[in-house]
Chains A and B, each alone.
Chain A
Amino acid sequence: MNRTQDEFVAQRKPSWDELDGLLAKKSLLYKLPPASISRVAGLYREVCSDLMRARSAGFSAEIIDLLDALSARTSAALYSAPPYRWAGLRELILTGFPVSVRRHARFLLVAVALFVLPALLGFVGALHSRAFAIQVMPESMVAQMEKAYADMGHGRSGTTDSMMASFYVYNNVGIAFRCFATGLLFGLGSVFFLVYNGLLTGVVAGAVTAAGHGKNLFTFMAGHGAFELTAIVISGAAGMVMGYALVDTGPLSRWASLRLKARDLFCMVMGAALMLLIAALIEGFWSPSSVPPMVKWAVAGLLYVLVLSYLAFAGRASSRRPGP
């Protein structure tokens, strides 16, 4: 038993090399043939005991580092779940997203209030006073918005549509992600982005209405609003859930308390991002089209019913199992 380091290395190295070779073959262990998997498990135990022996015998740091790295890699390969399954996306849409939104319904209500109240304020303010509108956003932008919606109603060309849809993906999903992520600052970032975006939306609507193009604007917004506004509010709610988990930690540390919510947060944000992708397509291609306003309003109503009933009822059957 009292071997020198060099004898130890010489004797054990073939096993280490074999294990190293098996791990290098496939990044995921379960893709190896069954015999190789058992062999990896056996070699793993050997390497663990080699590591212990090397440590207690006080062998040099190089050999301990080598065994450390090898056994850690094997342990990770043996015990890990596959990094990603496409089935996860289906589960997210069918249950994960609506269930986690409902689980945090109180935060959703607060987020709705934080978005809608500033929007109403902005709308009423901008409707009655142009000075109010240009306090919130630059006058040139107000004028640009007014002009944009004055011209609306007779459709855009198809190429502009695809460009605008891409812009909405880039801009709106970005806003939603930022609205969520800054919630890490004890929820303050999410609150700010909700209020700010609500106010901005309200002011644009108010200014355009004051200029006499309100009908164009609301007809335009109605279609994608079901997806877009709901998704922004959900991502803001997710940010507040995250911030609140850092404040009300129960018996846990702040980060442990946050990690309990990690799955819900992930579901809410990914769900919101998917909704925004749909919204971008609607906003790019459907909302500016020259379909009669009545049809647009009917479709908008239908989409609202669809989105709200999806959030209210989807995944109820499977939501009884214990949540995280």
Chain B
Amino acid sequence: MRLDNTVEVETPEQVCFRFRVAGPARRAWAYLIDLAVRAVALLVVEIILLLAGGRHLGSSEAVVSSGTLLFLFVMEWGYFVAFESAWNGTTPGKRVLRLRVVKEGGYPLTFMDSMLRNLLRTADFLPVGYLLGVLVMTWDGRFARLGDRAAGTMVVIEDPVKAAPAISLEPPPSDAELAAFPHRLALPLPEREAIELLLRRRDLSPARRVELAEMLAPTLQRRFGVSSDDPVRFLALVFHLAVGGSGAGHSPPSPTQARP
């Protein structure tokens, strides 16, 4: 069984995208927010109706109760469908938690999909509090509740991702430093990834960074025959060379740089 929460979708161009699907907890929060939004909306409508109904004495009761009933109906059966259709698979609660409903192929859902998945909330709700829905979700790699399965939809997480900033070596590597390294530096991918992870982590204290680097550095220092008293700088240099950064002895010739 896969414990991953990503789903792979292949497009007609045979490109695979990975989506992160949302689990029950995150979706429950979104649901609670939507519930609160509806409660507040109902309160506002009640106040407006009471104020409006008060002007026509005698009919106020009928105005308030018919307005309330119609609004309750719209909130119960129309809220999710309206938002998901108008906001491309999101509702206020889903926006807060960065969730979006999409088709299993990653496409936007249609009005029909939204209608089906939300009508079938009734079945997911059974016997009480979405128990059946949550149970069914745990059975499925996409965390699809009954409504999602019938409509062929899934709820994905859309955390904003930014390109990682470049790893800079401060100060820039000196020729003397680079000269100590072998001409060709072969570094297996897992090791490179480990070093990159260490260098990119922003939440490490300097002491912890040094501590972790001290565990990685000695092996590599022995392998390359380089000695260094700053393990973090040493690893940064290794990474710089491993990803094809220019070294002292094998940098491309340039007119301003005299070669030894």
Contact = CB atoms under 8 A, between A and B. Distances in A.
Given A60-B164, A63-B164, A66-B162, A84 B111 contact: yes
A96 to B, nearest CB: 10
Given A76-B102, A173-B77, A259-B150, A83 B85 contact: yes
A242 interface: yes
A76 B166 contact: no
* Interface SS majority for chain A: helix
B4 interface: no
Nearest to A181: B122
Interface stretch (A156-164, A194-202, A295-303): A156-164
Interface in A160-184: 160, 162-163, 165-167, 169-170, 173-174, 177-178, 180-182, 184
Interface residues of B, number: 62
A313 interface: no
A35 to B, nearest CB: 22
Given A62-B161, A174-B76, A80 B85 contact: no
A184 B126 CA distance: 11
B111 A48 contact: no
Contacts of A65: 161
Interface in B197-245: 197, 200, 243-245
A80 B113 CA distance: 13
Interface in A1-60: 2-7, 9-10, 13, 16, 27, 45, 48, 51-52, 58, 60
A232 B238 CA distance: 73
Interface stretch (A139-147, A263-271, A315-323): A263-271
B93 interface: no
Contacts, number: 153
A88 B163 contact: no
Given A66-B161, A182-B126, A72 B193 contact: no
A25 to B, nearest CB: 14
A75 interface: yes
A76 B110 contact: no
Interface stretch (B35-43, B65-73, B172-180): B65-73
A262 interface: yes
B256 interface: no
Contact of B192 (A58, A167, A173): A58
Interface in A63-116: 63, 65-66, 68-69, 71-72, 75-76, 79-81, 83-84, 88
Contact of B111 (A83, A159, A177): A83
Interface string B120-146: 111100100000000000000000001
A320 to B, nearest CB: 22
A167 B161 CA distance: 48
Given A170-B73, A174-B76, A181 B161 contact: no
Given A27-B88, A263-B112, A163 B65 contact: yes
Contact of B116 (A63, A178, A262): A262
A51 B15 contact: yes
A122 interface: no
Interface string B154-168: 000010011110110
Nearest to B167: A6
B17 interface: yes
A60 B200 contact: yes
A258 interface: yes
B111 A76 contact: no
B192 A9 contact: no
B107 A80 contact: yes
A159 B107 contact: no
Given A2-B244, A80-B107, A184-B123, A13 B15 contact: no
Nearest to B20: A65
B73 A163 contact: no
Nearest to B60: A159
A45 B149 CA distance: 31
Nearest to A284: B66
A162 B66 contact: yes
Contact of A242 (B11, B15, B115, B150): B150
A9 B200 CA distance: 15
Contact of B189 (A10, A58, A163, A242): A58
A152 B183 CA distance: 101
B22 interface: no
Interface string B239-256: 000011100000000000
B179 to A, nearest CB: 20
B62 A75 contact: no
Nearest to B158: A69
Which of A7, A71, A76 gathers the greatest number of chain B CB atoms within 10 Å? A76
B115 A72 contact: no
B59 interface: yes
B166 A174 contact: no
A58 B198 CA distance: 16
A177 B15 contact: no
Interface in B9-31: 9, 11-13, 15, 17-19
20 contacts: A4-B245, A9-B166, A45-B13, A58-B193, A62-B161, A62-B163, A63-B164, A68-B17, A68-B18, A69-B158, A72-B19, A75-B15, A79-B107, A167-B66, A173-B77, A177-B119, A181-B123, A184-B120, A262-B112, A262-B116
